[in-house]
Every structure is written in C-alpha cells, then in structure tokens.
Amino acid sequence: MKELILRNWTFMRALRLVLGIIIVVEAVMAKDLVFGLVGLFFSGMALLNTGCCGTGACYTPPVKRRDHQHTTKEISYEEVV
C-alpha cells in the first residue's frame, strides 16, 4: 500500500490531488457535505492511483506498425467491354 501511494506520480495525478484538497477545503468552509464527498473522491482517486488516469483501467495499447511489403497484395484489373 505504501508503494502504491508513493510511486508513479505524474502531473495529472498531482493535479487531481491538489484539486481534491481544494474542493475539501472549500466544502469545509461552506459546510457542504456533498461537495466534501466529491473532494474526498478526487483525493482518494489520486492517492490510490485509480480511475481512468490510473494504472490501466482505460489503457489502450499502442498500434503496432506492420511491414507493408508483406501485408499488401498485388491487385490485377480486367477491362470489361
């Protein structure tokens, strides 16, 4: 759990944490429970590195380039009169 929280910090993960903390602080100042839960949600996602910005929940693998010489076939055309 310690490694999950302390490793693989990216700019987006840090930004989510900062926004989550700002939302929680504003919710405490406004005494708004729902807003505070949203802030805790964002902060928790950033701390645990989950969600679409996490370790692969929405990961799409890169497209592998194929050698076009072996995949293309010669097409022959016949004239119809």
| Averages of pLDDT over each 10 residues, the chain, 81 residues | 72 87 94 92 85 57 62 79 82
Domain ranges in the chain?
11-50
Q: What is the pLDDT of residue 71?
A: 62
- For the chain, first and last CA: distance in Å? 74
CA distances from 64 to 60, 67, 68 (A): 12, 10, 12
- Calpha distance 23→79 (Å, rounded): 70
- Is the CB of residue 45 less than 8 Å from the CB of residue 17? no
Whether the pTM exceeds 0.85: the reply is no
